Amino acid sequence: MRDRAVRVVSTYFLPRDLHPVAWWVWALGIATAASRTTNPWLLASMLAVVGHVVVVRRGSEPWAMSFRLYVYLGAFIVVARVLFRVVFGGAEGPSIVLRLPEVPLPAWAAGIRLFGDVSAESLLGGLYDGLRLATMVICLGAANALANPKRLLKSMPSALYEVGTAVVVALSVFPQLAESVLRVNRARRLRGSTSTGRRALRSVVIPVLEDALDRSLRLAASMDSRGYGRAGDATPRQRATTGFFMVTGLVGLCVGIYGTLDATTPGYLGGPMLAGGLVIGMTGFALAGRRVQRTRYRPDRWHLAEVVTAGSGVLVAALVLTSGGADPAALNPSLLELSWPLLAWAPLAAVWIGLVPAFLSPPPVPPHDELDDVPDDRLPTHDHDRDDQPVGSRA
């Protein structure tokens, strides 16, 4: 027991990639909290927390660099929301800050207003609303930047393994297609075809598709001869049972969801159906997974650091939601009268819990070319120096 504790402590901060699900749970937790508040202080601190963790804990892979795009998207959302209030007239509230001439619209467009008076309250409303949406989007971006999407697919339940592989393969097709298009387009110039229109399209599309088809056939042959989709020893009867469970479960789920969303359906079609479908579907899943004879190479394990990371996200969501129950005004500042939004300490403290992974998670593995070519005895000895460097300073 003690040995185990020693092992956990001594290996805790060794560089490794955290389980992708841990990052997703963490990010979704903060996103959930963000969905419940329009308080700009809280939202801004969420953004700060998420941004800091991403900068400190992301690797150097291409998807890690995508975070910036999500930030741009977030900024765009905020600006768009505010502009909408100006264009489609936001005159709720007493303090008018901008008087624009109203564009008269025909009768059929009743209910829509173009320009006109703009109040500070409605501008602020747009800002808060946009900020909330932007924070949620940026949280998703953070998960995307921190978790290797391919490893995420790999940690799917084994019953879904084959679907996962198909998705991975499909994803790798796109860069290849782009490459083919570039190559063929360049080759077209060699034939002197500068034509545009249908014939040009054809001279690009046909070689590209032929190439893609060839490639996928060869890939399929390779996968087949390497054992993809081996039946193992499941009997047809077992397969039928699994299939029955899965389909019944899915039907139950669909009916259940419909029943929950549509208030006019009888009650027993809602919750109970949903629960029943879920149970049956999960049984099918478990059955299918048990029969899969596949194993995983170095699967991502769920260690203490994963629990800490995911737990911090869940805690943020739970604490912000409960504090909202106790004091709704702290989460959604009133827009009826113009005033500084109040800052309540309880939800703010809850949000800062989201910062825990920045300190209590292992750093990402450094890129291969930095270390792999160095013989072991010449590796830099002060590993801590490496940790303390802000990894994200590249961004």
Residue ranges in contact with another protein by CB under 8 A: 150, 165, 168-169, 172, 183-184, 186-194, 202-203, 206-207, 210-211, 214-215, 218-232, 293-299, 368, 372-373
Q: Which is nearer to another protein, 69 or 168 (CB)?
A: 168
Of residues 214 and 383, the one with the C-beta less far from another protein? 214
C-alpha distances (whole Å) from 298 to each of 17, 172, 364 are 12, 22, 16
- DSSP string spanning 170-215? HHHHHHHHHHHHHHHHHHHHHTT----SHHHHHHHHHHHHHHHHHH
List strand residue ranges (DSSP E) for the chain, in order. Answer: 96-103, 114-119
Q: By C-beta, is 91 or 371 nearer to another protein?
A: 371
Least distance in angstroms from the C-beta of 205 to another protein:
8
Shortest gap between Cβ of 150 and another protein (angstroms)? Answer: 7
Asked whether 116 and 102 are in contact (CB, 8 A), the reply is yes
> Do 85 and 125 touch, CB atoms closer than 8 A?
yes
* Distance between CA atoms of residues 292 and 7, nearest Å: 32
- Residue 346 in tokens: 């309880």
CA-CA distance, 14 to 4, in Å (whole number)? 16
Phi, psi (5° rounding) for residue 78?
Answer: -60, -50
Smallest gap from Cβ 195 to another protein, in A, equals: 9
Minimum CB separation of residue 27 from another protein in Å reads 24
- For another protein, which is the closer residue by CB, 168 or 395? 168
Q: How far is the CB of 45 from another protein (least distance, A)?
A: 36
Task: Kindly tell me which of 4 and 301 has the beta carbon lying closer to another protein.
Answer: 301
Which residue's CB is nearer to another protein, number 219 or number 343? 219
Task: Give me the least distance between CB of 35 and another protein, in Å please.
Answer: 34
Looking at residue 100, the DSSP 8-state letter turns out to be: E
Q: What is the CA radius of gyration of the chain?
A: 27
